[in-house]
Structure 1
């Protein structure tokens, strides 16, 4: 996950030329839309912004939803490239302003699911409240646990609970109360249960006798104040690769009930 709000859309931004396949692809990601907001189920492997050269990011592909002569929807938050799940955009400038202020005021409620290893966290549920600091290794940014009095310390708080567990791995639900870069990944590694597939922070690369396909972190639900009033909750189903891993590990439950958020 990423704590930083997306970069501001500048007036000089111009529409990106998208292929028909890209337009169909991004429109197929929509899980909710109305006059004010548009929510998508981002797949793992797609950068929210600032992606690698020659590959369009989700932010760029939002031009597929732009009305003639208007700006594209604006990202309200980001997900790491290898994290799947709910990502929210605003269709209008007033909606973007409203949602941006609500996010800064911590009125968003984010729910993630992750496969961790080895085994069930101890305790099975609790709160991780450990400061983090940023560290650069070459061109790569890492987050590290640090003492509260470290000059670069940032407060970080994550609530978690175990949804299903076995001897090899567990499925956990995560609710971050702050939004630091890589917060969930580093907090779970600090707990001794790094997220499966997270090579950067020590996650298991094989489970159930097979390779873990990617970082097993999914933004399952997002609850936020809607610009038109009231509160909206949007959910994204567990992706196929994660569901297959849970099935292989015996963590899927009866009829998927363990996966409900």
Structure 2
């Protein structure tokens, strides 16, 4: 059965819209149990965004004990024989670290693949967000696919959502800085054309201004780890929850930087592949810093769409 989206919509809402008689819980099971495919790939994440005019294929679930092996602790956004895209939570490292107490995203994803296919398969890291960053994360299933994806990753189109402290000077802007990597993953601001420095470019647009914070959508034009966090901190609008580039009062939150959309070249077909997810509900909840003039300990930033519901 083919289901076509009339507008950009999350997969969960599309299923609820198509089958109004089912509960939210049942709709999630339809997705998690692998009954939905998009562009010949099984989609198991309720947050997956289906674009306007795009269609997904629904296959009725017949049940069976094999489903238990396919459940996963990590939301799967996209999977085929060459790559797998998952959602990385804040606070979970992509790769294993010494004496880690929490399983890495790599380990969780590898465990899912083993349960689903019944085989041990190596995964290869394509890009490695910092432990406190969240959103889409991609693993390759072969070494060759990894090499192609990493080589072309700087050409990918990426879109982040961020909550920053204060209000940027301009509603929309394009920022250019020359940055240089140092030891221990440190970053230094350099003069243009400095040897070893790279030109880093990000564009941002304002979604909504609040009393103490601003919701931004950010599109980086270059790929340099930590560039978004460094540049926003440099202009005086640190990302909320950024203990590395921010101040202690803003660090009571989890880092409010989330990769919600990526468009890249598929390592096998060469076609453009777009993977998109929605923001988690907790993203719009912010702890106020102690210096904020408010009697409330917390504020909840709700978008206009939610207010209308």
> Could you tell me the TM-score, scaled by structure 2's length?
0.64
| Counterpart in the other structure of 2:93 | 47
| Counterpart in the other structure of 2:33 | none
1:238 counterpart (275, 279, 294): 279
SS at match of 1:102: helix
C-alpha contact 2:95 2:104 (8 A) present in aligned 1: yes
Aligned residues: 224
Query: Any residues of structure 2 matched to 1:31-46 within 5 Å, and which?
Result: 31-46=77-92
C-alpha contact 2:240 2:255 (8 A) present in aligned 1: yes
What's the CA shift string for 1:54-77, capped at 9, x where partnerless?
343222333311456653222211
Counterpart CA distance in 2 for 1:74 and 1:26 is 19
C-alpha contact 1:165 1:171 (8 A) present in aligned 2: yes
Aligned: 1:201 with 2:221 = no
Aligned: 1:176 with 2:185 = no
1:220 CA displacement: 1.0
Instruction: Kindly name which structure, 1 or 2, has the bigger radius of gyration based on alpha carbons.
Output: 2
Higher RCO (CA-CA < 8 Å; seq separation 6+) = 1
What's the CA shift string for 1:129-176, capped at 9, x where partnerless?
10112344xxx4321322124444222111111111123110111111
Aligned: 1:83 with 2:133 = yes
- Structure 1 residues 62 and 180: CA distance shift in structure 2, 3 A: same
Aligned: 1:145 with 2:186 = no
Aligned: 1:121 with 2:168 = yes
Structure 1: unaligned runs, 5 residues or longer: 1-22
C-alpha contact 1:37 1:88 (8 A) present in aligned 2: yes
1:178 CA displacement: 1.6
| Counterpart in the other structure of 1:228 | 269
1:221 CA displacement: 0.9
> Could you tell me the TM-score, scaled by structure 1's length?
0.75
C-alpha contact 2:261 2:277 (8 A) present in aligned 1: yes
Counterpart CA distance in 2 for 1:25 and 1:115 is 32
- Structure 1 residues 254 and 52: CA distance shift in structure 2, 3 A: farther
1:83 CA displacement: 0.6
C-alpha contact 1:36 1:228 (8 A) present in aligned 2: no
Counterpart CA distance in 2 for 1:90 and 1:109 is 18
1:219 counterpart (259, 270, 278): 259
